[in-house]
């Protein structure tokens, strides 16, 4: 069903010489009809989301205990093997600052959680999850049933 704007309806009613009092009441009623219910309308509350890393282990080589990790990004044309060096460089740079000297980071987990993004950006690494996320493993197969 096509929708028509309230202003367009008002113009049509004016052209057809509807009395100003009736026109005003109709426009007010249409404006009330198009307003959403409540301040946010009928939208359900936003679902809180979390990150999960799903690791493919079809040969079952990974140990059977829980792992955590962080989601990071580096430039597309760079080797992923440089990721730790980028984090180390960012940590070293942060530890030379006044705040870094007062509270230096000693582990990668501390660095990812506490070092400001500008230090990571200078090393071309972007942290997507500051807190570690659970790593799940899968055999990469979809069950038949």
CA–CA gap between residue 102 and residue 49 (Å, rounded) = 34
CA–CA gap between residue 125 and residue 94 (Å, rounded) = 14
For residues 38 and 99, the model is more confident at 99
In the structure, what pLDDT confidence band is assigned to residue 96 with cuts at 50, 70 and 90? very high
Domain ranges across the chain: 1-43, 53-138
pLDDT in tens, 23-68: 788 888 887 777 766 555 567 888 888 878 888 888 888 888 888 9
Name residues whose C-beta falls within 8 Å of residue 14's C-beta, 6 or more positions apart in sequence. Answer: 23
Q: Give the pTM.
A: 0.63
Q: Which pairs with CB-CB distance under 8 Å and at least 24 residues apart come from 5-13? A: 6/30, 6/31, 6/34
Per the CB < 8 A criterion, the answer to whether 55 and 62 are in contact is: yes
Mean pLDDT over residues 85-104, rounded? 96
């Amino acid at each position: 069903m096509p929708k028509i704007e309230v202003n367009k309806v008002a113009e049509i009613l004016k052209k057809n010489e509807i009395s100003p009092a009736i026109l005003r009441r109709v426009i007010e009623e249409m404006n009330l009809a198009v307003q959403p219910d409540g301040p946010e309308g009928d939208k359900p509350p936003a679902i809180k989301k979390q990150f999960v890393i799903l690791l493919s282990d079809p040969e079952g080589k990974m140990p059977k205990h829980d792992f955590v990790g962080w989601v990071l990004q580096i430039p597309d044309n760079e080797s992923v093997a440089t990721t730790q060096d980028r984090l180390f460089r960012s940590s070293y740079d942060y530890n030379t600052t006044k705040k870094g000297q007062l509270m230096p980071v000693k582990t990668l987990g501390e660095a990812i959680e506490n070092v400001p993004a500008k230090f990571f950006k200078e090393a071309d690494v972007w942290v997507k999850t500051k807190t570690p996320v659970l790593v799940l493993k899968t055999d990469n197969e979809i069950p038949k049933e």
